[in-house]
Chain A
Amino acid sequence: MNSSSMGAVWGLWLRQIKRYLRSRSRLIGSLGQPVLFLVALGFGFGPVFQKAGGGNYIQFLTPGIVLMGVLFTAIFSGIEIIWDRQFGFLKETLVAPAPRIFIMLGRTLGGATIAIIQGFLVLAVSFAAGFRLESWTRLPAAALFMGLTAVAFTALGTAIASVLEDMQGFQLIMNFLVMPIFFFSGSIFPLISLPRFLTDVAAANPLTYGVDGLRLALEGGSYAAMGRDAAVLTAVAAVLVVAGGNLFSRIQA
């Protein structure tokens, strides 16, 4: 890896972070949705969930909502390429003397870092809603699952944005990809009593492994089970980074 490749990774990472820290409205705005879900679902369905024998719903829901924050932020960071194309900045990076894959990697790591920060912010809010952590020593494992999820979905966003020319398809992606990924991952309801076809969907959904892993991490589950989830997620993230990098490399101005 030569110095312009490293420069590309570091430079684009730094750019993403700078833009994020600079736009408070985005920071607050992207917290709004997870917090709304946490409060509305948590307090709305909490009693029903408890009565049905599911236990404390806020405890169940928090990992799902944390990853909702991560998922949305990650996908948006990837999709931001479309804006960069529209505002012209994309050209500056496409004409740079660094292999495109490193440009993509820098963007992805930057987006993923932001997504992890958002995840921790949601987690902090969930404490106010009554969530209790098994032990603080579980936080590194939690960070790992947020990180893997963040990388996988930022790369997915990048892959999508590399083939879309404008924002026209965006609504389509939200409704037919991002929302289903979120809903059918065990994030807001347990997967066990679902009809067969939905459990199959969930099993094929990468976020399912993130949610399961994060739940195990936060609730004090076994490291062996976490290891399995982490392995699946790592593989998915790797495939998506390679695919996203490939599609990004093919962009023509």
Chain B
Amino acid sequence: MSQSGGDIIEVKDLVKTFGSFTAVGGLSFSVKRGEIFSFLGPNGAGKTTTIKMLTTLLRPDSGSIRIAGLDTAREPLEVRRKFGIVFQDASLDDELTAWENMFFHAVLYAVPAAERAPRIEEMLRFVGLWDRRKDLVKHFSGGMKRRLEIARCLSHQPDLIFLDEPTSGLDPQNRSRLWEHLRRLNSELGTTIFLTTHSMEEAEKVSGRILVIDGGKIAAEGTPDEIKRRTETRTLEEAFLALTGRDLRDDVPGAVEDMRKARLIWRGKSR
């Protein structure tokens, strides 16, 4: 692991517009090595757009991003080696088995041939999918797919992982199991975790630093306690309301998913 001044992510004045709409309006923040860092914000806040720029999938209009000391615009390939990502929407090949998806990823990331099989086994066991390795992914449940994506993104042993709403679609049991995994990963291997969430509860439980974003801008930054103290509120939820004048939680279960689906259909593509 190469240490570079302690900050594994450094973002300055990041801007992204779509036509006349500003999705990300000048974000600056940094994430320390070994940290669990949460992006908290309502639908459309610009969380996914930011992650896409951090992971070299989308070109920013302006601003700079450094990952592990490397400029994402200048050295995208080097940068891509450094992180693993679980996207908000599935990115598995449904027609392949769990094992094949893992194998394919290992090949793409140039994991040495001799290490592939043991590493894939370790990761599949880690997320409890070893017994299902020969099943086609299209027969998996949503939660199983999510776990497989997590196993996959870890299999090239990145120092940094991006998780875009990792627990959406997971039942409470798998949710807490995932958290246990992530904490272990963070404490044992020192993996930096960057995640986005809608859930206050979750952001609060993870207890690392939080960046509250709304309308593509930073609304607050700090640990949950700091944010609550600053806004003189008792819960993060109240803090959010105080900061943005809006309620964050999508109270109707499934409402977020429905909106997202409607949006996908509307745009006619998956992002």
Q: Which residues of A come within 8 Å of B, CB atoms?
A: 2-4, 7-8, 10-11, 14-15, 18-19, 22-23, 85-99, 165-166, 168, 252-253
Residues B66-116 near A (CB distance < 8 A): 77-78, 80-81, 85, 87, 89-96, 100, 104-105, 107-110
Q: Which stretch, B52-60, B170-178, B221-229, B248-256, touches the partner chain A?
A: B52-60
CB atoms of A99 and B270 under 8 A apart: no
Determine the chain B residues whose CB is within 8 A of the CB of A7 once the complex forms: 107-110
| B269 touches A (CB below 8 Å) | yes
CB-nearest residue of chain A to B82 = A97
Question: In the complex the two chains form, is A168's CB within 8 Å of B268's CB?
Answer: yes
> Which residues of chain A are near B59, meaning CB under 8 Å?
252
Interface residues of B (CB under 8 A from A): 52, 55-59, 77-78, 80-81, 85, 87, 89-96, 100, 104-105, 107-110, 268-271
- Bound-state Cα–Cα, A77 to B56, Å: 26
Question: Whole-angstrom distance from the CB of B41 to the nearest CB of chain A?
Answer: 20
The reply to whether B104 and A11 contact each other, CB–CB distance below 8 Å, is yes
Q: Which of B52, B56, B91, B110 contacts A92 (CB 8 A)?
A: B91
Chain B, residue nearest A8 (CB): B108
Q: Is the CB of B92 within 8 A of A92?
A: yes
Report whether over half of chain B's contact residues are helix, strand or loop; otherwise say mixed: loop
Measured CA separation A95–B58 after assembly (Å): 10
Q: By the criterion CB–CB under 8 Å, are B90 and A97 in contact?
A: no
Q: Report the Cα distance A89→B223, complex, angstroms.
A: 35
A91 near B87 with CB under 8 A, answer: yes
Question: In the assembled complex, which residues on chain B have CB atoms less than 8 Å from the CB atom of A8?
Answer: 107-108
Minimum CB distance partner of B55 in chain A: A95
Report Cα–Cα, A11/B109, bound state, in Å: 10
By beta carbon, the residue of chain A nearest B100 is: A18
- Point out the residues of chain A lying under 8 angstroms from B269, CB to CB: 85-86, 165-166
CB nearest neighbor in A for B152: A92
Residue numbers in A under 8 Å from B58 (CB-CB): 252-253
A204 to B91, CA, bound (A): 40
Q: When A165-B269, A253-B58 are in contact, do A93 and B108 touch as well, CB less than 8 Å?
A: yes
Contacts of A18 in B (CB 8 A): 95-96, 100
A165: chain B residues within 8 A (beta carbon): 268-269
Can you name the residue of chain B whose Cβ is closest to the Cβ of A84? B93
**How far does the alpha carbon of A93 sit from the alpha carbon of B87 in the complex, in Å?**
13
A166 contacts across to B, CB distance below 8 A: 268-269
Are A88 and B90 in contact (CB-based, < 8 A)?
yes
Residues of A near B85 (CB, < 8 A) are: 95
Closest to A98 in B: B108
A91 touches B91 (CB 8 A): yes
Does the CB pair A98–B91 fall under 8 Å? Answer: no
With both chains docked as a complex, state the minimum distance between the C-beta of B110 and any C-beta of chain A, in angstroms: 4
A4 to chain B, nearest CB (A): 4
Knowing that A87-B94, A95-B55 are A-B contacts, what are 7 other residue pairs whose CB atoms are under 8 Å apart, sorted by A's residue number? A15-B104, A86-B269, A88-B89, A92-B93, A96-B108, A97-B78, A253-B271
Q: How far is the CB of A96 from chain B (nearest CB, A)?
A: 4
Q: CB distance A88 to B268 under 8 Å? A: no
Q: Which of B57, B89, B107, B109 has the most CB of A within 10 A?
A: B107
A93→B152 CA distance, assembly (Å): 13
Query: Are B100 and A94 touching (Cβ within 8 A)?
Result: no
C-alpha spacing A252/B59, complex, angstroms? 8
Chain A residues whose CB sits within 8 angstroms of the CB of B95 once the complex forms: 18-19, 22-23
- Asked if A88 and B110 sit within 8 Å, CB to CB, the answer is no
Cross-chain contact B93 with A89 (CB below 8 angstroms): yes
Residue contacts A-B, CB under 8 angstroms, 14 given: A8-B107, A8-B108, A11-B108, A14-B107, A22-B95, A85-B270, A87-B270, A88-B92, A89-B94, A93-B108, A95-B55, A97-B77, A253-B52, A253-B271
Q: How far is the CA of A86 from the CA of B269 in the complex (A)?
A: 6
CB distance from A77 to the nearest CB of B (A): 14
Chain B residue at minimum C-beta to C-beta distance from A10:
B107
CB proximity of A94 to chain B, nearest CB, Å: 6
Look across to chain A and name the residue whose beta carbon is closest to the beta carbon of B76. Answer: A97
Query: What residues of chain B lie closer than 8 Å to A19, measured between beta carbons?
Result: 93, 95-96
Top 9 A-B residue pairs of the complex, sorted by shortest distance between their CB atoms: A4-B110, A11-B107, A253-B57, A97-B80, A88-B91, A3-B110, A166-B268, A96-B108, A7-B107
* Contact partners of B89 in chain A: CB under 8 A: 88
Closest Cβ of chain A: how far from B36's Cβ, in Å? 21
